[in-house]
Structure 1
């Protein structure tokens, strides 16, 4: 009992320390954003006259409304299409009896080992040759392809655990493969699909590297990608830069707070299924 009590307290202390380390950068950004514009705050000192107007100014000068629109268009271009392709591929690889599916699955697993940084140069020239450079399609199409290895692996982990008897019963009732997929398995896969949708949304919204390399116009990028241009323009105004950074982080934080249970379930599902 004493050992268990000590372990419980040790876990709580470590959890508090981890939470403190995680929240400290956000607290520092928030406190710094409230200092007068053009100053160089030191430490976590609370300003005597908090400048809440820094957030309004950062929203205006960074043209956040247009960045929100651009990020939303990119997310709408990436997430639905990636979900459809990954769900169909995961169903085929994980549940159907098709020749060569194990080779295809290994190819997707190999794709998990390829970092974005390692393919950014050839990707740049390919996008340029396609005539898509400096457009939102330069972000949307590569992200769909780059997300496929994980997305197919995720959906395959769900379909491979579905009982074969379920499909056999549907076939006896006259269902073809298409009806079996859409009417039987997709409704049952909605927890896995919705969890994957949250992850793809967060990864797309926070995409930085592809946005700054493939798109020159900040208003055509994601909000995170536009942060580079905002930093270049207002890098000497630390409070304004911190206010802009917090505004860019706000949508992601809101999505996480709203869907935090689903987000945790997504991580647990990915760790338990295989």
Structure 2
């Protein structure tokens, strides 16, 4: 009994420390953003007169409204297409008894080992030859392909644990493969699909490398990619730079807080199936 209590308290202490380490950088950004523009705040000191107008100034200076529109268009171009392709591929590899499915699955697993940094140079020349440089398609199309290995792996992990009897019963009732997929398995896969959608949204919204390499116009990048141009313009104004960084981080934090329960539920369901 004493050992169990000790382990419980140890776990709580570690969680508190981890939470403090996680929150501290955001707290530092927030406090620094409230200092007068052009100053160099000393650590985590609360300003005598908080400058809440720094957030409005950063929003206007970085043209956040246009950046929100650009990021939204990129997310809408990446996430739905990636979800459809990954769900269909995961169903084919994980549930259907198709020839060569293991070979295809191994190829996708190998794709998980490719870092973005390792393929950025050939990707640049390929996008240039396609005439897509400095367009949002230069971000959308590569991201769909780069997200496929993990997305297919994620969806395959769900479909591989679905009972074969479920499909056999549907086929006895006259369902073909297409109806089996859309009417039976997709509704059951919604927890896995929704959690994957959250991950793809976060990764797309926070995409930095492809945005700054393949797109010159900051207003056609993601919000994170446009941060580089904002930093170059306001790099000496630390409070304004911190305010802009928080504004860029805000949408991802809001999305994660809203959907965190659904995301955790999908992870727990996957662990129970496994």
TM-score, normalised via structure 2 length: 0.97
Deviations 1:33-88 (A, max 9, x none): 00000000011000001100000000000000000000000000000000000000
Could you tell me how far 1:156 is from its partner in structure 2?
0.6
Could you tell me how far 1:165 is from its partner in structure 2?
1.1
Q: State the distance in 1 between where 2:272 and 2:224 align.
A: 31
Could you tell me how far 1:169 is from its partner in structure 2?
1.3
SS state of the match for residue 180, structure 1? helix
Q: Counterpart of 1:232? A: 232
SS state of the match for residue 26, structure 1? helix
Are residues 1:14 and 2:4 paired?
no
Are residues 1:164 and 2:151 paired?
no
Deviations 1:72-117 (A, max 9, x none): 0000000000000000000100111111000000000000111111
Could you tell me how far 1:170 is from its partner in structure 2?
1.3
Q: Counterpart of 1:193? A: 193
Give the root-mean-square deviation of aligned CA atoms: 1.1
Deviations 1:110-138 (A, max 9, x none): 00111111111111111111100110000
Could you tell me how far 1:176 is from its partner in structure 2?
1.1
What stretches of structure 2 of length at least 5 have no aligned partner?
none
State the number of aligned residues: 274
SS state of the match for residue 174, structure 2? coil
Q: State the distance in 1 between where 2:202 and 2:273 align.
A: 21
SS state of the match for residue 90, structure 1? helix
Q: State the distance in 2 between where 1:158 and 1:21 align.
A: 33
Higher deviation after alignment, 187-196 or 103-112: 187-196
Could you tell me how far 1:271 is from its partner in structure 2?
5.3
TM-score, normalised via structure 1 length: 0.97
Q: Counterpart of 2:115? A: 115
Q: Counterpart of 1:211? A: 211
What stretches of structure 1 of length at least 5 have no aligned partner?
none
